[in-house]
Amino acid sequence: MERTEPDPVDVALRVLLTEPSYAAQMLIVTARMLEMDHTSPITAQAREHAMTTAADIILTGLPEAVTHESLQRAHRALPPLAPAGTRGQHALLLRQAARSLG
Residue 54 lies in a domain: yes
For 97, the domain range is 21-101
Residue 33 lies in a domain: yes
* d(C-alpha 29, C-alpha 14), whole Å: 22
When pLDDT is cut at 50, 70 and 90, the band that residue 5 belongs to is confident
pLDDT tens, residue by residue, 60-79 = 999 999 999 999 999 999 99
When pLDDT is cut at 50, 70 and 90, the band that residue 19 belongs to is confident
Residue 15 lies in a domain: no
Give the chain's domain count. 1
Taking a C-beta distance cutoff of 8 angstroms, is the pair 58, 101 a contact? no
Q: Give mean pLDDT, residues 87-100.
A: 96
DSSP 42-93: P-HHHHHHHHHHHHHHHHTTS-HHHHHHHHHHHHHHPPPPPTT-BHHHHHHH
User: Which pTM does this prediction carry?
Assistant: 0.82
* d(C-alpha 70, C-alpha 33), whole Å: 18
* d(C-alpha 51, C-alpha 45), whole Å: 10
* Average of per-residue pLDDT values in the chain: 90
